[in-house]
Structure 1
């Protein structure tokens, strides 16, 4: 079985399971799963489901989803069409099917711009919501982006397809087929097809200066990019040019800068001396010799890791100062980073290039210490089997896309079965999942409703600030209580669609709002939700489920009944005012909720006990490591430290004890000090073979 066939088999199993447990259609389960991948990969900022299908003059009209308010997406209106086939075998489709799949979406756009069409629909109809948004924001739309999501494999080669575009606005499209999703899941990237060909598409190769020696670990180049070329490149690929892990971070600080735009408009020839330029990476570049000298003709997978504000401002000038862009030039430092080293190198480039930002861009990357610690804890934290299961298991925290699939793929079939028991697929969660669980519980459902990337950006800033002050609280117990939140969130996801009051749509909003409301109402100065019992039992008690569904019903009503003048419910759910309204409501949960609460002092006692146990375990581990290194090794540390004068009196005392191993053993606390000291002297240059 090929990797693609195995991926398809697992995908269909997951979709069927989700549809069965949640009581939703398979295509809805498929859309929800893939919509999250689209936002993670940077194809769209958000992806809200909005199914509508009809005919007009015998021609099909259809939409499955959209990407939110164009005003929040650089004027891009994103529309989604879903092609789902219930099959156990991998099906294919070719170029001839693209137009029949995409044209119904274009026809919907044409109809949706009409007030007559909108007013002929019920206000709760998703098509009404999208139409109303399009009518209200059309003057701000600069481009329409169509996304085709399919569980079939696309086998077409020439992507030039003639569409029924009658709109006076650019319409582009992107195909996310089975193979592209599989590549993203396995490799954590989706941009293999983003080849920027300067000679063919953007007016010619770019003169460049090689800034690295032939034997350097990484290739580096200095380039001067004409403003109109950069604007056109961004106009074509948009946010995909910005490294996915820092996209929201950069864009949150990259609102179009009026000062930059003023320079472009009034003094374009001064743009180069005024602007710091761009820092970028690429998987590969093609170099050529021209009459003018050395140049770069194409770049594969260009990623701008510093300069989003510059890029966005230059792109905005396509509309406001297009003629002046001919005299604008921006410098670019380009580093070629092989894909297998990108996780190591790119975060550092971004971190050092973005030093003017308060929160390091590296906070968003998968190798930030917070994510590394969560991964380490997840690989060791064992949870008891629920009543209906036989085996204890672990939750798998995927700090970078593809970890789960790749770790499993390295194993032989018998080991894969053991892996599946140890890490069930249903207990896999990602960085964006973690952010949803935490922010839902902490009372920020309006942020969660803004989409995976924007929510993760806010979460990363919060964690970055907290971590820099103290990382002590992010321990085993914090992780286990996180798992309780995950269980609550996912239980709500399955139960909400089964409720009689649920009319379809807005499930994601209802889930995060319900969870936020319950945590808000349950936690007070004397009592809090008993999260420790949940992670120990790996099940959400029925009494808590009942209370959560009470909150969910209230959340559904608030979300689907926005205030006068507000008609788009998805956009309403993204507002602080929506959360304030639900938060202020008085709900009757019943006495059963009391059984799910615990005195706050008891919760604190559990925390103290867990940290004492952790400290004991750390001490034992440190003692074991110190003894394993041996007395001779510590004697070298002692000799180096004395020669370099890098040891304090306490350091000398501890290292002298370690140097006498095995005649004398350090205590737990002495071993902890010794291991910290060892890490420090290694950073200062100590090297010794064991």
Structure 2
């Protein structure tokens, strides 16, 4: 049964209350953060910083983000802990947007920052708006509302505010419901080219009459591609490519040089882009067949080309007139997209391989973490009667989907076994892990960039050996999650906390305690925290002391840096914290220092877990091999035998598999068979 808007509002409100209680934050902060994270995960926002400011002069702001492309996102909330679902009128929309635009105007033109407290988050935001000046190329105003937008409200047209192009976006409860209930958990792009750009896009069908698969070769004007990127940003890029671009972030010099010096040769020199869409609409135009509409366009290879076209035209003021890009477009329906799109992305990117460019939700690392989270019970906390699980969302929406077909009784049982506060996502995992490995600066760069860095690191480590990602790794990650979330709660409750920089304080607090432990060649006892499912009083006190030290340090950036958040993104911030931490060490409780365990103990735990994982890998490989029938192994052997890329050892081991069940391949042989299967697949061999 489809969920009504009333039911969604009720559930959303309950989740907010639980989240606010779990993190000791105000409901308003929890509301803004919840909606912002929803938009970050689906590409609408590149990052987010909380910043509540309201003044008697009618100004207000609740959050912001500066991206690398000269765009500022400013957020204002319409939230009043309403008990019943209410309507948001056009008049209220206009007056709310006026408050946040007034803040932007006062910051940019009237030096508002001079009237603000220097250690407050609003000072850093207002000062940065003023300092950046003309570097701000566009401003997006976002209204987050707990109400339902009136049907009478039409689209708010783009305009200019203080000489800067501005657009307005409303996220009310009904739009949030659509976002969360749509397949793939994202609002799908629907682009009508003649309406938006005044022309269709020339194309040739390339599917040769196939009923099951359609594809087109297209020539798209670079000006349209750049304009699409300006309008939709990261939403155009498949998650894989988005991660890749976050990790690199530079403009391709070759592309820039060609556009500036030889624009007429761009089509000849550039490899073009590979893209997918759920649906296309074509028609016969004056110059032949043309695409007039695309639904859910996703660029799976060529994100660098797309971004570089946009940046070059903007920064160098270069016209893209006469510049064209070739596009290979595959039509993939929503049912197949989760499997097929990542494969297209992976194969399309092989010439430009990045360590973890294919680190999307079906990467074996995520599948393994998901398997652990569904299988391993966390010990019951002292006083609790039941054990629980930590639910890992490998793909967005899994937690909700897992409950969608359950009865009310089954749903209660599921939630008791998998409490909502113990659900965590890929970007959460990246945060929990990166702060401990001397990478706190990455965490401060925002969720997407931090995940990109984590993906690069884990992707390359997985390639070397997957045995390190075992039960010990999973349990340690949960212990780190417990510490991370407890620290968020502790910081919010401190008398010195004024509502800003919590994310920065938490990241550096944990990083500093990890750094201090490493100087003694010791570590926090993560396995003890896993077994107890909570932290000790000594660790809690150490977190309170360290977080105050970090807050005092980061809110005093060096001369020439006015924004604390920007300072926290720099390597110099981390270096200065480490250099000044000697005074902190004297304040840490002796009980905390005594609780640290030696690296020898940690290494023994890791080695034991690696042995078990090695055995598990062998068993899993054996299971996978036995699922394939002997006649299929015979077919594979015939196909592979006709190719001269397989070694005699690989062929011999396939001969063993053809004799199943008379002969059962050993665990070692099964691992080799799985590797041979992957090799066969890369050579175009299919199991028949």
TM-score, structure 1 as length reference: 0.90
Aligned partners of 2:79 and 2:146 also within 8 Å: yes
Q: Secondary structure at the match of 1:324?
A: coil
Query: How many angstroms does 1:92 deviate by?
Result: 3.2
> Which residue in the other structure is 1:92 paired with?
87
Query: How many angstroms does 1:417 deviate by?
Result: 2.2
Query: How many angstroms does 1:414 deviate by?
Result: 2.6
> Which residue in the other structure is 1:304 paired with?
299
Query: How many angstroms does 1:501 deviate by?
Result: 2.3
Matches within 5 A, 1:447-486: 447-486=442-481
Q: Secondary structure at the match of 1:409?
A: coil
The 2-side partners of 1:442 and 1:591 are apart by: 24
Aligned partners of 2:379 and 2:388 also within 8 Å: yes
Q: Alpha-carbon deviations, 1:444-501, whole Å to 9, x = none? A: 1111011000100111111111111111100111111111100100111111111122
Aligned partners of 2:244 and 2:357 also within 8 Å: no
Q: Which deviates the most, 483-492 or 127-136?
A: 127-136
> Which residue in the other structure is 1:62 paired with?
60
The 1-side partners of 2:235 and 2:627 are apart by: 47
Q: Which deviates the most, 180-189 or 13-22?
A: 180-189
Matches within 5 A, 1:568-587: 568-584=563-579, 585-586=581-582, 587=584
> Which residue in the other structure is 1:125 paired with?
120
> Which residue in the other structure is 1:192 paired with?
187
Change (3 A) 1:121 1:322: closer
Aligned partners of 2:79 and 2:145 also within 8 Å: yes
Matches within 5 A, 1:130-209: 130-156=125-151, 159-161=154-156, 165-187=160-182, 189=184, 191-192=186-187, 194-209=189-204
> Which residue in the other structure is 1:602 paired with?
601
Aligned partner of 1:102 among 79, 87, 97: 97
* Runs of 5+ unmatched residues, structure 2: none
Q: Which deviates the most, 646-655 or 672-681?
A: 646-655
Change (3 A) 1:653 1:458: closer
Matches within 5 A, 1:282-297: 282-297=277-292
The 1-side partners of 2:604 and 2:648 are apart by: 36
> Which residue in the other structure is 2:41 paired with?
40
Aligned partners of 1:133 and 1:568 also within 8 Å: yes
> Which residue in the other structure is 2:17 paired with?
16
Query: How many angstroms does 1:674 deviate by?
Result: 4.3
Aligned: 1:348 with 2:349:
no
Q: Secondary structure at the match of 2:55?
A: strand
Aligned partners of 1:186 and 1:406 also within 8 Å: no
The 2-side partners of 1:218 and 1:164 are apart by: 42
Q: CA RMSD in A?
A: 3.0
Q: Which deviates the most, 227-236 or 530-539?
A: 227-236
Aligned partners of 2:52 and 2:61 also within 8 Å: yes
Aligned partners of 1:188 and 1:400 also within 8 Å: no
Query: How many angstroms does 1:243 deviate by?
Result: 2.1
Aligned partners of 1:186 and 1:403 also within 8 Å: no
Aligned partner of 2:497 among 469, 494, 502: 502
Aligned partner of 1:440 among 427, 431, 435: 435
Q: Alpha-carbon deviations, 1:246-272, whole Å to 9, x = none? A: 314224435233442333233322221
Query: How many angstroms does 1:208 deviate by?
Result: 1.1
Change (3 A) 1:661 1:210: closer
Q: Alpha-carbon deviations, 1:116-149, whole Å to 9, x = none? A: 4221222123322111101111221111111122
Aligned partner of 2:330 among 331, 335, 346: 335
Aligned partners of 2:87 and 2:150 also within 8 Å: yes
The 1-side partners of 2:318 and 2:241 are apart by: 31
Aligned: 1:52 with 2:50:
no
> Which residue in the other structure is 2:32 paired with?
31
Q: Secondary structure at the match of 2:47?
A: coil
Query: How many angstroms does 1:624 deviate by?
Result: 7.7
The 2-side partners of 1:582 and 1:654 are apart by: 57
Q: Which deviates the most, 549-558 or 226-235?
A: 226-235
Query: How many angstroms does 1:623 deviate by?
Result: 7.2
Query: How many angstroms does 1:638 deviate by?
Result: 8.2
Q: Which deviates the most, 450-459 or 271-280?
A: 271-280
The 1-side partners of 2:315 and 2:555 are apart by: 38
Aligned partners of 1:496 and 1:511 also within 8 Å: yes
The 2-side partners of 1:254 and 1:653 are apart by: 45
Aligned partner of 1:275 among 257, 261, 270: 270
Q: Alpha-carbon deviations, 1:649-687, whole Å to 9, x = none? A: 79969987996968xx97xxx631343355356554685
> Which residue in the other structure is 2:536 paired with?
541
TM-score, structure 2 as length reference: 0.90
Aligned: 1:513 with 2:508:
yes
Change (3 A) 1:622 1:594: same
> Which residue in the other structure is 1:218 paired with?
213
Q: Alpha-carbon deviations, 1:397-417, whole Å to 9, x = none? A: 101111111111132323222
The 1-side partners of 2:632 and 2:358 are apart by: 36
* Runs of 5+ unmatched residues, structure 1: none
Q: Secondary structure at the match of 2:319?
A: helix
Aligned: 1:489 with 2:484:
yes
Q: Secondary structure at the match of 1:408?
A: coil
The 1-side partners of 2:196 and 2:42 are apart by: 24
Q: Which deviates the most, 548-557 or 86-95?
A: 86-95
The 2-side partners of 1:239 and 1:318 are apart by: 18
Aligned partners of 2:60 and 2:103 also within 8 Å: yes
Aligned partners of 1:362 and 1:368 also within 8 Å: no
Aligned: 1:235 with 2:230:
yes
Q: Which deviates the most, 674-683 or 426-435?
A: 674-683
The 2-side partners of 1:638 and 1:267 are apart by: 55
Query: How many angstroms does 1:367 deviate by?
Result: 0.9
Q: Secondary structure at the match of 1:472?
A: helix
Q: Alpha-carbon deviations, 1:13-50, whole Å to 9, x = none? A: 23223333444321011122222222222212221111
Q: Secondary structure at the match of 2:54?
A: strand
Aligned partners of 1:103 and 1:164 also within 8 Å: no
Q: Secondary structure at the match of 2:325?
A: strand
Query: How many angstroms does 1:155 deviate by?
Result: 4.3
Query: How many angstroms does 1:394 deviate by?
Result: 1.1
Aligned partners of 1:99 and 1:163 also within 8 Å: no
